[in-house]
Amino acid sequence: MTEHRDQQLRQLISLLQDGEFHSGQKLADELSVSRAYIWKLMQQLEELGLEFESVTRKGYRLLKPLQLLNPEQLLQSMINNGMSDWQCEVLLLTDSTNQQLKGSGFCHKKLLAAEYQSAGRGRRGRQWVSPLASNLYWSVGWQTQMPVQQLGGLSLIVGLAIIKALNKLGIKGVQLKWPNDIRYQGRKLGGILIELSGDMAGALQVVIGVGLNMQMGTSVAKSIEQEWMNLHELAPEVSRQQVLAEMIIELNQALETFEQKGFESFQADWKAVDECFGQKVSILQHNQELKGIGAGVDATGALLLQTGKGIVPIYAGEVSLRFRS
C-alpha cells in the first residue's frame, strides 16, 4: 500500500471518527477524489477490520466512534514524566510492530505503535488479531547489559507495569497468567511477546511487544480460540491514548528498577496478581503434561509448581488453568 493511500485512509478515518453519518459526496470533496474512490477506500477500511454501515442518502457511519493515536501527545506525556530520551512513532499499517523494531530498525528506548497489524503474532507464533484502530498494538526497543540468564522475569515485570497503569486509570481486578497473559476473570485482555537478539554475553537488544484488546468487534474476532474481552467492558470512558501513555510511563520505571535490582524486587507485586497461585495448573512441555498447584514464582521469574514430588520450577511451557483431575 502506498504512503499516499495511507494518508488518504488516515484522513478518511479522521472525518468518520465521530460516529455520525457522512455523505459520500462530502467525503469525496474533503479528500479531493471521486465518490467511487471513496467507496473503494471504505471497502479497504472494512477489510482492515473497521465496522461501518452504509445508508442510501445518508452516507457512511462507523458503528462505534474512534480516535486515532496521537504521537505528538504521547511524546509530550513521556517528556512530562522524565522520558525526554525516548522516541515515539505511530504507524497506520504495518506487518508487526515487533518485526518493524527488530534488526536494522532497532532503537533503544523507542515506542512504536500501529493502528493495524497484518501479521501480528502471539505466543508460539499464533496470529494476533489486529483490526484497525480498535485495540493497542505496540513495541518498545530496549538495550541492556543484563546477562540473558537474568531476563527470565522480564515478561512478568512488563505485565506488572501494565497492571499498575490500569490501576492508575481506575481499572482494578486485572490479573496475570504466567508468563505473558493479561486476563480478567479468566478472559484474555492482552498478551506480551518478548524477543531477544545481539550478543548473549554482552549488549542485548530486546523488543517488548504488547497487544491489548480495547474495543474489538466480535465479527473480526471469530478466529480467536479462547475466551477474550475488551478493556472497554471495564472502563468504557478510558481512551486508547490514555492507556498507552500510562503503560509506557510505568514500563519505563519498571525497566529501570529491573536493571538495578532484578526480578526479586517484583516478587511481592507478582503474588498479588498471580492468576495461577493456589490454582490447579497444567503445563505442556515437549508434548508432555505436568500437573500441580501454582505456588508463585522464584527470584528469577520461574513458575513454581507444587507437585506430588515437591515444588518444581518451570522455565517454559504452555500453561492452562483448566484440566481434568
Residue 95 CB-density burial (10 A; 0-12 exposed, 13-18 middle, 19+ buried): middle
Residue 322: active-site member: yes
Sign of CA pseudo-dihedral 262, 268, 269, 270: positive
Beta strands 87-94; 110-117: pairing state: parallel
Which entry of 124, 222, 322, 324 is annotated as an active-site residue?
Answer: 322
Q: Which of 61, 102, 123, 168 is catalytic?
A: 123
Give yes or no: 123 in active site.
yes
Distance between CA atoms of 276 and 295, rounded to whole angstroms? 8
Phi/psi at 273 (5° precision)? -125, 10
Q: Which of 164, 177, 188, 240 is catalytic?
A: 188
**153, three cell numbers:** 522475569
Catalytic residues: 123, 188, 322
